[in-house]
Structure 1
């Protein structure tokens, strides 16, 4: 008689939670996914919603704004061959993909929508996890719990003197739904990240005046370079070379990759010094801004780059760091988020032990550090508690968190093992030392990881077989000898996620269609390139 499958509660059904439900259920776990909203997809599911005033948040410390979607124009910053959608898809296209994904794997029967979780703790009698539902107060018991609520939980707002004097609109980018309601207004967008870039450029043509306020620069990367999505240059061979360089000569790797990003930027745009985009923070601890029209609008004057906001000095007057006063009718903060684990028993909150060194570093920006092994497993309860969606580095987030949940499934199934607690603790201490050092140099996300080490670990733990089948060992030579066409497509073609389901390793399940899809995406891109060259010749 086979043992009864373990029950798992997955809290949060954004894209990462959905992948976690799929990967765990695929390995035989009995999974229930909980989502506070009546729909899946998180920020990718556009809703009109109610816009939350920053002043409303300030007036009541206990106020928690509703979890709404991003803007209608929200766009993925990676091309389709990573995400099975059109090049750089908009939110509605991402949602169509997520709905298709859920239906293809028949995941909906496992979902409980419009069911917010109030509290999660250990049940002392059964030693199971007690999940208390918000509306009914019902307590459900599970063998295991995965927290997949993501890093975009509670909007962060800077403390700015004189905010009560301002009579215009103040809101966070999460509550920005589109440019139409700002027509004819003067708007300042605060923060130079992908959200700030997207928000500010979307306002052009609607707002009377658009300012982009920032204290830190950034590399600006176009979505297309030489007619191709910029990420198509990142083949698996190049990624492996980059990984080797980062592990062997990290100082040299940092120089090389920063110069590479600067080179793409300078070939694509004419960046003027007065915009204060340079110096840009290192890619070692910061991601570039992917934007096509940002520089164009700065050049035309439709968008004005200004320094950081120092003080609100009147009903429509804002003092910036340079001493200049600008007149605006609305302020949109693109200043990031805090992770929210308020529904967790504080004993299991991974941010509760955020180290003082990190907290006191300006680069942390008041966001606590997560104490998790490889940003997934806590030191305690790692056999039944995990976190998915809390890994950050310049790379495809969907792919990253899919790998994270694959690795989680293999650990909990017993196909992969975590090291002894002492080794995990040493790894956590080393990571803490490393990330605090980065935060001492500039703004660093608390979920930031060292990409080469994390990818090595997650591929081995998930059982993708990449290192063994693409390396210099027996399996690698056999693959090269027996199927050179596929080998070249995998190593030098488009680095698509199909490769993670290609090789049989005895761990995660393979996908019989992986080979065909790898061939297809490369043939599609080659055909597109040939058509483009033919058009140029004509």
Structure 2
């Protein structure tokens, strides 16, 4: 796949260059391949789906039912459970790449990509080569780099500090007092995992958060939400979800988990902030096995001081503080005059945070053959939508160029 012509260390691709061999890159490569369009997939690590393989904890499962997480053109195996494990998902990714003959060029870290307005080609540079193509598809994702916050005194702490990207299991923390900074899905699940290994997690909840049951009436909450949105306004669906959540989970405000004033779906659409789907952490919070703490004011040598005046000692700190895009680090403008990072409408395509400015479903196409897949803040379902749209658009251009 991706037959390139090499000249003096330069590779010329007849099809698109895809940066990233995660689910996003594989999905768009498969859709292109199905339409007879070759591509070159560049991956900075030595494997596909490296975030899943190298930066996720052992207990991780898909948060949504598998039918919402499969990629275009190939379903999950029928014998997979409703919520596949991370290992099952990785095996599906590997089978997916093999099925479509996708062979990424591994250990190719893109340091710079820019559009040449004279030649009409993208030049993509790695540590080894320069690649050229009329199309560049950014598939490096929203979660390319861990976010490590600056907390006063962090350098003074005498114990280990790690991001969840390197956390594997609570077995390393038995009988330890652990400060978990962050209360999203990762923070909740890591805290739950620590409990199951007899650690004592203290989870920092700085802002408001929506916690919903993963299932309602035996059906996934996501399935119910998607079904109701076909018939009712978003705000009404939000009210229903919160009504059921309060009935099944209780008033989370009493647990120091304050709900935002904006409903969970409306908030997700506006900010990309995903509601927490509870898989057991809430019961541990109710039983005080997971202790909820307010914001951290300062890290000390042996622990932390909190905004409510409390001070506690901890053996370890785990940062469940999420990830960010790395697009601004390598996608460059050219001569300050071209439309390299502009959309079709003349506005910047990517924000300073490396996310397409146009909201879903219009954030997949920029100008000069620039595309983005996997930046919808809608998970694997959004990836599939982007991949199909991009493949169709590129294929139409490809056929004109080839005279088909």
TM-score bracket, normalised by the shorter chain, equals 0.7 to 0.9
Identify the structure with bigger relative contact order (alpha carbons < 8 Å, sequence gap 6+): 2
Q: Is the 8 A contact 2:61 2:86 kept in 1?
A: yes
Q: What are the residue-to-residue correspondences of 1:129-148 with 2, within 5 Å? A: 129-134=122-127, 136=128, 138-148=129-139
Q: Deviations over 1:364-416 (max 9, x none)?
A: xxx465334722222x32xx1111111124xxx2121111111112222338x
Give 2:33's match in structure 1, choosing from 22, 25, 47: 25
Q: Are 2:334 and 1:326 aligned? A: no
- State how 1:102-121 maps to structure 2 within 5 Å: 102-108=97-103, 111-121=104-114
How far residue 94 of structure 1 moved from its aligned partner, in angstroms, is 0.7
Q: In the alignment, does 2:21 pair up with 1:13?
A: yes
Preserved contact between residue 174 and residue 197 of structure 2 (Cα < 8 Å)? yes
Distance 1:230 1:338, change over 3 A: closer
- Contact kept, 8 Å, 2:252 with 2:259, in 1: the verdict is no
Q: Given the alignment of the two structures, is residue 76 of structure 1 paired with residue 62 of structure 2, yes or no?
A: yes
Aligned pairs for 1:231-380 (under 5 A) are 231-234=222-225, 236=227, 238-242=228-232, 245=233, 253-254=234-235, 256-280=236-260, 282=262, 283=264, 284-286=266-268, 287-312=274-299, 314-341=300-327, 342-347=329-334, 348-349=340-341, 367=353, 370-372=356-358, 374-378=362-366, 380=367
Q: Give the match for residue 161 of structure 2.
A: 170
Name the structure with the higher helix share.
Answer: 1
Q: Name the SS of the counterpart of 1:30 in structure 2.
A: coil
- Determine the structure 2 residue equivalent to 1:186: 177
Of 343, 358, 376, the match for 1:391:
376
CA distance in 2, matches of 1:12, 1:112: 10
Gaps of 5+ in 2: 1-12, 71-75, 269-273, 335-339, 398-404
Question: Do the aligned residues in 2 keep the contact of 1:186 with 1:207 (CA within 8 Å)?
Answer: no
Counterpart-to-counterpart distance in 2, 1:291 and 1:20: 31
Normalized against structure 2, the TM-score is what? 0.81
1:77 Cα deviation after fit: 0.7
Q: How much has 1:207 moved relative to structure 2? A: 4.8
Give a deviation string over 1:432-490, Cα, whole Å, max 9, x none: xxxxxxxxxxxxxxxxxxxxxxxxxxxxxxxxxxxxxxxxxxxxxxxxxxxxxxxxxxx
Secondary structure at the residue paired with 2:201?
strand
Moved over 4 A (4+): none
Distance 1:214 1:191 in 2: 6
CA distance in structure 2 between the partners assigned to 1:32 and 1:281 by the alignment: 45
Gaps of 5+ in 1: 48-68, 246-252, 360-366, 416-538
Matched positions, count: 358
Residue of structure 2 equivalent to 1:127:
120
**Alpha-carbon shift at residue 285 of structure 1 (Å):** 2.0
Structure 2 CA distance for aligned equivalents of residues 405 and 369 of structure 1: 16
User: Does the residue aligned with 2:98 lie in a helix, a strand or coil?
Assistant: helix
More strand per residue: 2
Structure 1 residues 406, 369: CA separation in 2 closer, same or farther (over 3 Å shift)?
Answer: closer
Superposition CA RMSD, Å:
2.6
Distance 1:285 1:33, change over 3 A: same
Task: Give 1:14 shift.
Answer: 0.5
Q: 1:253-274 CA distances to partner (integer Å, 9 max, x unpaired)?
A: 32x2332222232232234544
**What's the offset of the Cα at 1:162?**
1.7
Give, in whole Å, the separation in 1 of the partners of 2:28 and 2:37.
Answer: 11
CA distance, structure 2, for counterparts of residue 272 and residue 139 of structure 1: 53
